[in-house]
């Protein structure tokens, strides 16, 4: 009888270990789900910031090209007419 009581106690301990392990795994899954959502939210924010920076960089590039084109237009117009003719000949 003592052996049966000992086996029952061991089984009870193993069942408790299994229940605790199951609960710990559920807690870990819940925390990981929360972390995953947080990381996804932050990555979405980073993606939006990069898109904003990219569009700003293109606008700056367009302004730069327009500035150079304007500067070249001013330089070509400001040269004296006979100097322009001398370089063409």
pLDDT under 50: residue ranges of the chain: none
Taking the CA atoms of 18, 24, 27 and 31 in sequence, report the sign of the dihedral they define: negative
Residue 61: predicted pLDDT = 93
From first CA to last CA, the distance across the chain in angstroms is 121
Structure tokens at 75: 């330089």
Predicted pLDDT at 2: 67
In percent, the amount of the chain with pLDDT more than 90 equals: 58
């Amino acid at each position: 009888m003592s052996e049966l009581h000992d086996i029952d106690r061991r089984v009870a301990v193993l069942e408790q270990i299994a229940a605790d392990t199951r609960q710990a795994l559920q807690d870990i899954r819940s925390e990981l789900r929360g972390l995953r959502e947080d990381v996804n939210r932050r990555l979405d924010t980073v993606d939006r910031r990069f898109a904003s920076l990219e569009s700003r960089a293109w606008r700056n590039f367009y302004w730069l090209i327009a500035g150079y084109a304007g500067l070249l237009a001013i330089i070509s117009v400001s040269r004296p007419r006979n100097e322009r003719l001398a370089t063409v000949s």
